[in-house]
Structure 1
Amino acid sequence: MDTIIFALPGNEELTTKLIYKLDAEKGEAVIRHFPDGETYVRVSSDVKDKRVVLVCTLNSPDDKILPLYFLSKTVKDLGAGSVCLIAPYLSYMRQDKRFNTGEGITSAYFGRLVSGFADTLITIDPHLHRIASLSEIYYIPTQIMHAAQSISDWIRKNITKPVLVGPDSESEQWVAQVARDAGAPFVVLEKTRHGDRDVKVSIPHVEAYTDYTPVLVDDIISTATTMVRTVAQLRGVGMKAPICIGIHGIFADNAYEELLEAGAKEVVTTNAITHKSNRIDISDLLAQGYQHLLRDQPIM
């Protein structure tokens, strides 16, 4: 069965890389909005009996989910053999419990929604906190790929004498792996969060690393509140200008600019979400994930 790959709007560059790496056909479709805001979808490629791959990273998901749903349903109606969603960033993972009375558990609802129109799912480092596995909320085969090695490789090639700084105790195992593979020491912050932008950060003793370049690493850079405060504190104790690295660069509001203004030397992200900070390519990881799904040999 042949593979044909469609890019949802904004995912064209990553999709082009995947088409090349997977020796796949480029899917042609029109997705636009009528004057009243409703979504229009038209598929011009032949998808009958083909493996269809839809590439759509899911930051700002509310604007993307309906066009994605319509495109998936359309190719199924046109005879596609299967539909795989490649969503490098998977949204709605944080609300995984009812924190306050009356709240919805939106991670579970979103998982059911996606499972209703995609046959398989590939993503990069989803925010698994209280959820041990995506299979708890997704009812389709899923493949999680990990960017730690790609980040380690970039650090090793681009930074002399790095010391990695993890955002909190929950990140310690992941940061330790990146540091080990990069051949660098690491420290972990003590963080207390009282709200989306109300975060208190304390830095462990860093006197031994004053001649190192601090590298702040996190899975998601959203408001960047923790990173901004950490950058300022590191600069305040005489550390070199830090480099901030995130797998998923959401950059809510002016987070990217605020990091640079706080004293970061550079902000680096993977191309899981398209942004001018993209330096680390994860297309190989996604291609590997798709090939493993085809062989039904998921990477744990």
Structure 2
Amino acid sequence: MTAIVSGSASQALSAALASELDCPLAAVEYDRFPDGELLAAVPGFDADRAVVVASTTSHAAHLELLLLQDALHEAGAEEVVTVLPYMGYARQDRAFESGQPISSRAVARAISTGADRVLTVSPHEEGVCEFFEPTAEVVDAAPVLADPLPDDLADPVFLAPDEGAVGIAETVRDTYGSGEIDHFDKHRLSGDSVEITPSDADVAGRDVVVADDIIATGSTMSEAVEVLHDREVARVFATCVHPLLAGNAYTKLAASGVEAIYGTDTIEGPATAASVAPVLAEHLSAD
């Protein structure tokens, strides 16, 4: 029997996945000791196979995942499958300066010690999957980004904020069923400064869907949206797999003129509008 085990940051997604797979949700306890140390336990766990669903959105979430994996092995699980809807540190796939760590490799090695199999949803850099042992499997969630879009988009343009996200924009367009593809050129000037060069697409009077894998601070996307409004765009929708929306990202995008922000439940929050549970279920039920 398979049981779904939820990290504290992925409870809604875990429940949705359990429903998709018709599997039970295991009881999980999250607590802290008086000194502040975390406790994550699975009291009464009784299944051969455990699927841990845990977005590592914080330091605590990383540690909680490691504790859950260990608890499941201790409880007698014969196989522990770890699903990372959002993998923290995945964007740090190389040492940016001499003496710095490759952070994604460090966390992948730690997670691998307690996992027989790892799945991660639309990582920013797919190369990070090779840091896991065995290699993590990529689950492409871009198709579900079309689900919350309005049915009445006017002559839509699906726009990537840079060339690297064109594949996501194409997938969303193909799933939606119609529209043009284009992208901005993005040039990073420094660690927190980016220059956006407008695309050649004619957007006047048309609806635009800006699609990316992650919205972190919202700075790049809000700059792109402002350019679109300068060109008399009709409506602008922002969509992404991972709605991290750090700091004031949500209000920053709203102030720039975004009609709506759609994300998935890889990071559960105010922008969650689509679930990756069905695509995860396809990968897990194919065993």
TM range (shorter): over 0.9
Q: Are 1:223 and 2:195 matched, yes or no?
A: no
- Report the equivalent of 2:56: 58
Contact 2:148 2:262 in 1 (8 A): no
Contact 1:197 1:223 in 2 (8 A): no
Pick from 101, 122, 129: which aligns with 1:104? Answer: 101
Report 1:95-134 matches (<5 A).
95-128=92-125, 131=127, 134=129
Specify the SS of the correspondent of 1:44. Answer: coil
User: d(CA) in 2 for partners of 1:230 and 1:187?
Assistant: 12
- Report the equivalent of 1:278: 272
**Aligned partner letter, 1:278:** T
User: d(CA) in 1 for partners of 2:239 and 2:206?
Assistant: 16
- Report the equivalent of 1:68: 65
Contact 1:164 1:184 in 2 (8 A): yes
Contact 2:45 2:72 in 1 (8 A): no
Q: From the superposition, tell whether residues 157 and 238 of structure 1 become closer, same or farther in structure 2 (CA, over 3 Å).
A: closer
**Aligned partner letter, 2:195:** K
User: d(CA) in 1 for partners of 2:195 and 2:169?
Assistant: 20
**Aligned partner letter, 1:54:** V
User: d(CA) in 1 for partners of 2:53 and 2:171?
Assistant: 28
1:155 Cα offset (Å):
3.6
User: d(CA) in 2 for partners of 1:158 and 1:23?
Assistant: 34
Contact 1:164 1:217 in 2 (8 A): yes
1:15 Cα offset (Å):
1.2
Pick from 259, 269, 273: which aligns with 2:263? Answer: 269
Number of residue pairs aligned between Structure 1 and Structure 2: 286
- Report the equivalent of 2:234: 240
User: d(CA) in 2 for partners of 1:205 and 1:28?
Assistant: 53
Report 1:185-200 matches (<5 A).
185-200=180-195
Q: From the superposition, tell whether residues 204 and 29 of structure 1 become closer, same or farther in structure 2 (CA, over 3 Å).
A: closer
- Report the equivalent of 2:30: 31
Contact 1:18 1:283 in 2 (8 A): yes
Contact 1:115 1:140 in 2 (8 A): yes
1:58 Cα offset (Å):
1.7
Q: From the superposition, tell whether residues 10 and 170 of structure 1 become closer, same or farther in structure 2 (CA, over 3 Å).
A: closer
- Report the equivalent of 1:214: 208
Q: From the superposition, tell whether residues 278 and 158 of structure 1 become closer, same or farther in structure 2 (CA, over 3 Å).
A: farther
1:174 Cα offset (Å):
3.2
Contact 1:123 1:286 in 2 (8 A): no
Specify the SS of the correspondent of 1:66. Answer: helix
- Report the equivalent of 1:298: none
Contact 2:49 2:80 in 1 (8 A): yes
- Report the equivalent of 1:202: 197
Specify the SS of the correspondent of 1:101. Answer: coil
Contact 2:122 2:140 in 1 (8 A): yes
Q: From the superposition, tell whether residues 42 and 174 of structure 1 become closer, same or farther in structure 2 (CA, over 3 Å).
A: closer
Q: Moved runs in structure 1, 4+ residues, more than 6 A?
A: none
- Report the equivalent of 2:86: 89
Specify the SS of the correspondent of 1:252. Answer: coil
**Aligned partner letter, 2:254:** L
Contact 1:144 1:289 in 2 (8 A): no
Specify the SS of the correspondent of 1:25. Answer: coil
Structure 1 stretch 217-226 or stretch 191-200: which is displaced more? 191-200
Gaps of 5+ in 2: none
Contact 1:214 1:239 in 2 (8 A): yes
Contact 1:85 1:121 in 2 (8 A): yes
User: d(CA) in 1 for partners of 2:65 and 2:134?
Assistant: 17
Q: Are 1:255 and 2:249 matched, yes or no?
A: yes
**Aligned partner letter, 1:3:** T
Q: From the superposition, tell whether residues 14 and 118 of structure 1 become closer, same or farther in structure 2 (CA, over 3 Å).
A: same
- Residue by residue, what CA displacement relative to the aligned partner does 1:173-193 show, whole Å, maximum 9, x if unpaired? 332333234311021101111
